[in-house]
A = this chain, B = another copy of it.
Amino acid sequence: MIEHELVRELAEKSSTKIVMVVADGLGGLPLDPGGRTELESAETPNLDRLAATGTCGASVPVLPGITPGSGPGHLALFGYDPLEFRIGRGALEATGIGFELGPEDVAARGNFCTLDAAGRISDRRAGRIPSEESFKVVERLQGVRIPGVETFVKPVKEHRFVVVFRGKGLDGAVADTDPQATGVAPLDPVAASPAAARTAEVAREFVAQARRVLADEPKANGMVLRGFAAKPRLPGYEELYRLRAAAIAVYPMYKGLARLAGMTLVGNAHTLDEQIDTLAACWRDHDFFFLHFKYTDSTGEDGAFDAKVRRIEELDRVIPRIEALGPDVLVVTGDHSTPSLLKSHSWHPVPTVLAAATCRPDGAEKFSERHCVRGGFGIFPAKHLMLLAMAHAQRLGKYGA
């Protein structure tokens, strides 16, 4: 990324502080055409004040029309081009359950399935066995031993689990073993590139041993593995931006994403108020603070318009506590939109506001989708938000004489 070359060249040490509040899935849609979005329906006097004095914009996480997952959405906010830096499915799943991937790890997502006597898949989800049952099956798999490789098997939910192989010379380029059909046997793990030959061999050995261990399971007697992936190589915040970055998140997925970007996980907060307590407590030791608020997304996913409105208002109420700490730059944004109307992530640009002493008035008066589209940042790639935050924090030198 040319942005990374620039930032490496221009980033300067400073004592200024940047807070980035990510309200997951913040952007929304009106329930009726032409009506108000969740954000426009919420009473947000504090966010409106930031919008009036700061600079607003509508950030595009990936490209217009592209709906991002949590991975690409956050990578963009952290300043990584989500089209260049990809987190493989296996690595994201491992990250999402709080597994800390190392440099020698390859992770894959696993689904238990039911095999018939001939070894053909009869149920691709093992009858969607409940998590409690599945956890016991996972425990049995934890006894599998492969020479020269450390193996971790972790439960996710229902029939899903994660397997991580740790060892020298492993590589993520192994094809999925899921035939995406019943009546046929799972595919053999096959290397998609010569570098992954050893990894495919390890996976075959794992599958073979698992088959023997699970032979007496009534439902989960087989498995398919998908999304083999190593830990992505992201240049970290310290190296790129010269920022000591702290992440204050509640859910493992977002903690994991922050850790991949080289942030330090701070505190053990469960509520938003506790998150602000943590922010205050670690204020002196860091320059950049990523604060993740999950519930604007989960209410959107539930299709709960009013609940999302209340969650936005809950976020608005803590803004003064953040301002009281005296950040030089305060950003409030989201990793993508999650309109309750759609009950899912969407491609719509994300309302974003940046407040700093160096903001130019842009005519935006409220923090809303409508005002942000016409704000001083316009409609802009989310991957540029960190450049703007760094500039307003006076942490970037001049490019060229």
Which A residues lie at the B interface, using CB under 8 A?
Answer: 2-3, 6, 10, 29-30, 33-35, 37, 52-53, 58, 62-72, 82-83, 86-87, 89, 92-93, 339, 341-342, 344-349, 357-363, 369-370, 373-380, 384, 387-392, 396-401
A358 x B65 contact (CB < 8 A): no
Assuming the contacts A6-B66, A67-B391, A374-B363, asked whether A400 and B87 have C-beta atoms less than 8 A apart, the reply is yes
B92 x A401 contact (CB < 8 A): yes
By a CB distance below 8 angstroms, the chain B residues around A392 are: 65
B2 x A83 contact (CB < 8 A): yes
**Bound CA–CA A89/B399 (angstroms):** 11
Nearest-neighbor residue (CB-CB) of A33 within chain B: B53
Nearest-neighbor residue (CB-CB) of A370 within chain B: B363
Nearest-neighbor residue (CB-CB) of A387 within chain B: B65
Assuming the contacts A66-B10, A379-B377, A401-B70, asked whether A396 and B34 have C-beta atoms less than 8 A apart, the reply is no
The minimal Cβ–Cβ distance linking A46 to chain B, given in whole angstroms, is: 16
**Bound CA–CA A398/B89 (angstroms):** 13
A361 x B400 contact (CB < 8 A): no
**Bound CA–CA A345/B87 (angstroms):** 38
Nearest-neighbor residue (CB-CB) of A73 within chain B: B400
B359 x A33 contact (CB < 8 A): yes
B71 x A345 contact (CB < 8 A): no
By a CB distance below 8 angstroms, the chain B residues around A369 are: 360-361
In the complex, besides A6-B62, A34-B53, A70-B400, 5 extra interface pairs with C-beta distance below 8 angstroms are: A58-B378, A64-B384, A67-B398, A72-B400, A93-B401
Assuming the contacts A358-B342, A378-B373, asked whether A65 and B2 have C-beta atoms less than 8 A apart, the reply is no
The minimal Cβ–Cβ distance linking A331 to chain B, given in whole angstroms, is: 12
The minimal Cβ–Cβ distance linking A129 to chain B, given in whole angstroms, is: 22
By a CB distance below 8 angstroms, the chain B residues around A82 are: 399-400
By a CB distance below 8 angstroms, the chain B residues around A6 are: 62-63, 66, 83
Assuming the contacts A86-B400, A357-B33, A398-B345, asked whether A65 and B384 have C-beta atoms less than 8 A apart, the reply is yes
The contact of A68 among B69, B346, B398, by CB within 8 Å, is B398
The contact of A64 among B89, B387, B400, by CB within 8 Å, is B387
By a CB distance below 8 angstroms, the chain B residues around A62 are: 6, 399
